[in-house]
Amino acid sequence: MNPIAPFADVFPVFWLCTLSLLGAIIGSFLNVVIYRMPVMLERRWQREAQQQLGVTITESPPRFDLMLPHSSCPHCQTPLAIRDNIPLVSWLWLKGRARCCAKSISCRYPLIELTTALLFAGAGALLPVGLPLLGVLLFMAILLTLTVIDLKTLLLPDALTLPLLWLGLLFNLSGSFVSLEQAIMGAAIGYLSLWGLFWLFKYATGKEALGYGDFKLLAALGAWMGWKTLPNLVLIAAVCGLIFTLLQRGLSRQNVDQPLAFGPWLALAGAINMVFFVLPTSY
């Protein structure tokens, strides 16, 4: 028997507060991933290009990954003390400014932490303690990370989309959300449907309307929620993305040829389908 389940049943408010705190901490780590992963990818591509061109690299660059170097001020690069790196609290206490140089710190950092805390608490309110709850927490955290990265860089890194896909299949080995058969079909049909649409549009217009990261993200969503949710996923993503784009470009008068990030809308559609269509039928 799960030892946490009786505690959550007896102290539901404390349990949700605990999940919120965990979410804020995880959100702080997601901020690191959102900032560093695109930089890591860019540096890797530069190294690969240098190797292809035969450029001699005289010295190895300092280590830069999700663990090192330690968190520092984005303006003056001063390492952050523990008291300045407490999720939500530090940003509010310092009134959105760095202690070291007094420059403004983006509100994106506390917003990611707050959003993750709310998502974790919401998942805890919907699901009992168990494997499906863990799955939903991972699902929401990765989708949030992909959303912000895609909005910033128009990238959906394989380092996130592929683990999301495999996690969906692993959780559905025991039918946590859908049967394994539906999950496998969802992953295959999700990828092939956007892949086919991509090439059809390219042959017709000579332009690329989607990226390969979008194919992998829809495949991952299909692995979590099965092939039956795919039409609903694409419809919600397309409608939300179209409405937002028309409003944004109408207000800002942006060029209609400017590339769009479709990944955030797929992620939003995935979260909506999980909460309103998959979980109610599973639990």
In a domain, 232, yes or no: yes
pLDDT category, 8, cuts 50, 70, 90? confident
Which structural domain range is residue 186 located in? Answer: 130-283
Measured in degrees and rounded to the nearest 5, phi and psi for residue 262 equal: -90, -20
Q: Which two tokens stand for residue 112?
A: 């990611």
Report pLDDT for 18.
96
Residue 159 has pLDDT above 90, yes or no: yes
Among 86, 118, 150, the domain-final residue is: 118
DSSP state of 63: P
Amino acid at 139: F
Q: Is the peptide bond preceding residue 69 cis, with omega within 30 degrees of 0?
A: yes
In a domain, 54, yes or no: yes
Residue 4 has pLDDT above 90, yes or no: no
Distance (Å, rounded) from C-alpha 203 to C-alpha 226?
Answer: 29
Q: Give per-residue pLDDT as tens, 112-146.
A: 999 999 999 999 999 999 999 999 999 999 999 99
Q: How many domains does the chain have?
A: 2
- pLDDT top residue among 6 and 195: 195
Residues 101 and 145 in one domain: no
In a domain, 124, yes or no: no
Residues 84 and 141 in one domain: no
Within 13 A of 5's CA, how many CA atoms are on the CB side? 9
Report pLDDT for 255.
64
In a domain, 162, yes or no: yes
Residue 247 has pLDDT above 80, yes or no: yes
pTM of the model: 0.95
Among 83, 118, 153, the domain-final residue is: 118
Distance (Å, rounded) from C-alpha 97 to C-alpha 107?
Answer: 10
Q: Give per-residue pLDDT as tens, 11-34.
A: 999 999 999 999 999 999 999 999
Q: Give per-residue pLDDT as tens, 261-282.
A: 999 999 999 999 999 999 988 7
Residue 256 has pLDDT above 70, yes or no: no
Share of the chain above pLDDT 90, in %: 71
pLDDT category, 254, cuts 50, 70, 90? low
Residues 114 and 248 in one domain: no
Residues 280 and 146 in one domain: yes
C-alpha pair distances (Å), 225 with each of 120, 187, 192, 196, 232:
19, 9, 16, 21, 11
Residues 114 and 135 in one domain: no
Report pLDDT for 114.
98
Report pLDDT for 209.
80
Among 118, 152, 178, the domain-final residue is: 118
Residues 159 and 110 in one domain: no
In a domain, 13, yes or no: yes
In a domain, 190, yes or no: yes
Residues 147 and 282 in one domain: yes
Q: Give per-residue pLDDT as tens, 198-220.
A: 999 889 988 888 889 999 999 99
In a domain, 143, yes or no: yes
Residues 159 and 275 in one domain: yes
Report pLDDT for 141.
98
Residues 112 and 188 in one domain: no
In a domain, 125, yes or no: no
- On average, the pLDDT of the chain sits at 92
Residues 269 and 135 in one domain: yes
Residues 111 and 137 in one domain: no
Residues 75 and 205 in one domain: no
